[in-house]
Amino acid sequence: MKRRRKWFEILVTFCIMFLFWILLSGLFDAFHLIAGVLCSVIVALISYDLLVKGKNEKMLLKCLRLLLYIPWELWQIVLANIDVAYRVLHPKMPIDPRVIEFETSLRSDFALVTLANSITLTPGTITIYVEHEEGKFWVHALAKEPGDALLVDQTMQRKVADVYMEW
């Protein structure tokens, strides 16, 4: 069972590496394709356990849900960057920084990373520290309203938990 899992991971890593080679080079003659196959095989043999690991059932469904989550997040990024621009250019600089702490129900690696990235990209908050076993986040907020949007409303945590199905 373990040997079959290992060959599957090597195959997936090889496919992704070869796809990157073709997309980034743009040359399709025999020499470059064979060089691409050789390099992809060597890289896949050396580092096959870095890309896909852990329990990943229903990975395709999670990827599709992630693709649906990204446009909402882009809209939030644009809205919130206008808010930061207003705070920077205002002559009185209305900021009131504080450190917040809250708990979530996410446990897997991908979900924690996605939430930490989203928190750092939407204006007003930066992730300081993530605790792995209990899903705690330490967050530095720029003023009262963005911190409250994360602490009281909890829309972002619910959306990420919807993507990865880890209520």
The pair of three-digit structure tokens given for residue 55, joined into one six-digit string: 């329990």
Least distance (Å) from other proteins to the CB of residue 163? 16
Which residue in 120, 112, 93 sits closest to 160, CA to CA?
112
Q: Per-residue x/- mask for other proteins, residues 125 to 164, rule CB under 8 A?
A: -xxxx--------x-x-x----------------------
Least distance (Å) from other proteins to the CB of residue 122? 8
Q: Which of residues 66-95 bind other proteins (CB under 8 A)?
A: 77-78, 80-81, 84-85, 88-89, 93, 95
Choose which of 3, 55, 57, 97 interacts with other proteins (CB under 8 A): 97
Choose which of 5, 53, 58, 98 interacts with other proteins (CB under 8 A): 98
Which residue in 66, 135, 136 sits closest to 106, CA to CA?
135
| Residue matched to tokens 């849900």 | 65
Instruction: Decide: 106 and 164 in contact? Cβ < 8 Å.
Output: yes
Which residue in 75, 16, 67, 5 sits closest to 41, CA to CA?
16
CA distance 37 to 138: 44
- Total residues in contact with other proteins, by rule CB under 8 A: 31
CA distance 130 to 14: 32
Binding residues (CB under 8 A) for other proteins: these are 23-24, 26, 77-78, 80-81, 84-85, 88-89, 93, 95-99, 116-117, 120-124, 126-129, 138, 140, 142
